[in-house]
Amino acid sequence: MSKEKKVFYKDLRFSARVVGVVLLIVAILFAMGDMLMD
Amino acid sequence: MKYNFKNGLLWLAIYTLLALVPMAIALAGDNPPHRTFWIELGVAMGFIGLGTMALQMIFSGRIASVAPVWGMDNVLQFHREIGIVAFLFTLAHPVILLIADPEFIKYFDPTVNLPRAAALSFVTVAIFAILITSLWREALKLNYEWWRLIHGVLGFGIVFVGITHSIQVSHYLDSLWQKIAIGLTMGICAYMVIHTRVVRPWMNSKKLYKVKDVTLERGDSYTMTIAPDGFKRASFKAGQFFWMSVGDEVLKMQQHPFSVSSSDEDPNICFTAKVLGDFTATWKDIKVGTPVQLEGPFGSFTLKEDHPLFMVMGGIGVTPAMSIIRSLVDKKDKRQVILVYASENWESITYKDELDELDKLPNIEVIHSVAEPPAGYSGESGFLDKEFFEKHIPSNKNHFIYYICGPEVVMDITETSLRELGVHWTHIYSERFQIV
């Protein structure tokens, strides 16, 4: 992938990473489980 | 449909929620006692890994109702990028669990449970294999057809084992309804692989087109004209593409995407291809009457509302532009069209005679840019760059819709130049076929 394309709006890598981070936060919340309730 | 942030966020939100379906099913039952943070995190990674891997089947499923919204190339690009995320979550599942409690190694121990150990070992190897073969297919010299077959088999295997594993472990999926729910939701996704690669090709093989004509064009290109054999031609919009295979064999591995070059008013369908690979090299020998199978149409490279058009096409990438312009002429649509056609040299300009005629129409302007101009040539020459676009884009630039298709380098330079010159991103449409 060219340097230009990396910075271009339609590079969907950023969107995928945002989704990945959101999913990771959900996973951490899932793992905290009871700790969140206390 | 036009690109905008709102639609983008909506689709990402839908995707995220769907990826969390396995976890939601797990949490909907009677929750077992909480173990350590790291064990539960490892489990969460597994549920998300399964959800994201299963959704990959939907993306690669060539779903006609999703692809036109964002363009098949963008959908596949997202499939590729989110695939890396899916890989990381799936890999994190055993890694975190083994670090949290080495006792989990028993899941890989063939003396404890041979089928389970074999299945989980397969998935561990398969997620690496699917990632490596996709990111470095060309470097590995793996041809597209074999890659696609391997990709489908491994993807299906990973999701199938993932479903079975989550049901078999049963820690969070204790109730029967949970087992059925996870099996059904993830199973539907896994079925998409079979549907796309077996069921749909089989259905397409029942609707065979016949070759009417194969003609030589300028620039070492051929135009193949096909017609439906006893049924109504597939409806498409000018600028869209089909996956095409020649012959009447069911489950033919060799299938290639080609943009339609004819008008959407034409009862036949024409494809024009430059002789670049093994498949296009055979076009000149294809006989009249040869059966052709089509899958599609796909693509969002189509007319948007009634804006004037600024099209930048490189080489044989001009075919969707020809389809759009021919359709506009057939429909007597008088909107302004500026076509920039970048070619390697004067002899390689496909459709040159027809473009000369179109250029005479009051609403159509064709600007050739030739990389290696012949002696005495006075038109635009060299490679496209920002100065070229500064000179040629209209002053009311954001009233136009921009379409870009051609070699990667032409598309990169054009997209970047247009953005730098103030063209809003929602006005730019491009189609890239080189995904893997």
What's the gap in Å between the CA of A15 and the closest CA on chain B? 8
Contact yes or no for B414/B384 (Cβ under 8 A): yes
B→A interface, C-beta within 8 Å: 8, 12, 15-16, 19-20, 23, 27, 31, 34, 37-38, 40-41, 43-45, 47-48, 52, 74, 77-78, 81-82, 84-85, 88-89, 408-409, 412-413, 415-416, 419, 425, 430
> Residue B149 carries which side chain, given as an amino acid letter?
L
Mean pLDDT over residues B190-195, rounded? 86
Label the pairing between strands B401-405 and B309-314.
parallel
B393 vs B402: CA distance, rounded Å: 10
How large is the ipTM? 0.81
Residue B111 has pLDDT above 70, yes or no: yes
Among A10, A13, A25, A28, the strongest candidate for a mutation testing the B interface, having the largest count of B CBs within 10 A, is: A10
Tell if the pTM clears 0.95, that is, is over it. Answer: no
Are the beta carbons of A10 and B408 separated by less than 8 Å? Answer: no
Minimal Cα distance from B41: which residue of A? Answer: A31
Q: What is the mean pLDDT of chain B?
A: 89
Residue A9 has pLDDT above 70, yes or no: no
B261 vs B271: CA distance, rounded Å: 5
Q: Which tokens hold the place of B141?
A: 């010299």
Minimal Cα distance from A3: which residue of B? Answer: B412
B316 vs B219: CA distance, rounded Å: 9
Contact yes or no for B393/B418 (Cβ under 8 A): yes
Q: Which residues of chain A make contact with B23, given a CB cutoff of 8 A?
A: 26, 30
* Residue B313 three-state SS: strand
Residue B74 has pLDDT above 90, yes or no: no
3-state helix, strand, coil in chain A (%, to 5): 75, 0, 25
Count residue pairs from A and B with Cβ separation < 8 A. Answer: 88
Tens of pLDDT, residue by residue over B37-63, are 999 999 999 999 999 999 998 876 666
Window from B296-300, B344-348, B429-433 with minimum mean pLDDT:
B429-433
Token pair 């051609």 is found at B406
Tens of pLDDT, residue by residue over B128-161, are 999 999 999 889 988 888 888 899 899 999 999 9
Query: What pLDDT, on a 0 to 100 scale, did the predictor assign at position B75?
Result: 76
Residue B4 pLDDT level (bands cut at 50, 70, 90): low
Are the beta carbons of B19 and A5 separated by less than 8 Å? Answer: no
Q: Which strands form B337-345's sheet, in the order they lie side by side?
A: B380-381, B364-372, B337-345, B309-314, B401-405, B428-430
Q: How many CA atoms lie within 13 A of B51 on its CB side?
A: 26
